[in-house]
Amino acid sequence: MLTDAELTVLGLVVERPRHGYELDEVVSERGMRDWTALGFSSIYYVLGKLREKGLVAEVAGERPHPKAKKTFTATEAGRKACAAAAEAAVAELRPVHPPVLVGLANSPAVPPERLAAALARRAEAVKERLAEVRRAAAAQEHAPPFVRAIFDYSIAQLEAEARWLEGMT
């Protein structure tokens, strides 16, 4: 079984061979940091784990010097593992644990005016985040359909939360 970070990195390498810095750029461009716990420093760690599992390999070829960037490509086993894990991730409904639900479960402990203010702050944060995601999506207008689907899904979730918050405030 692959972690979300492993599947994310493996999927990007399945798209085409990449080095760590390029992986970081794509993660940033596509807004993937918003839904993965994948920081720059963890990309090389994840690549190492994928290499140990035989799912990626360093692209053969001469590097100008030993510290030059290593480019990784997916192995056949990596392509199969990526496809199986991606299919499962799309098909399976896994529980999520948003902190807002924990807060709501304990909201009777919060004075009503403070709870209303907290909901208003959340509504403002959702509005700002929705604008950010829309801007990022617009900047990726020529992105492949699967990238558009990620943005569309994120926008739909934020819009649904914004509607819910309107009813709460």
Same domain, 105 and 162: yes
Domain end (from 36, 71, 91): 91
Same domain, 111 and 135: yes
Query: Distance between CA atoms of 162 and 10, rounded to whole angstroms?
Result: 33
Query: Distance between CA atoms of 125 and 121, rounded to whole angstroms?
Result: 6
Convert the pLDDT of each residue in 114-124 to its tens digit: 999 999 999 99
Number of domains in the chain: 2
Convert the pLDDT of each residue in 146-163 to its tens digit: 999 999 999 999 999 999
Same domain, 78 and 116: no
Same domain, 84 and 13: yes
Same domain, 60 and 137: no
CA dihedral (59, 71, 33, 152) positive or negative: negative
Instruction: Say whether 167 sits in a helix, a strand or coil.
Output: helix
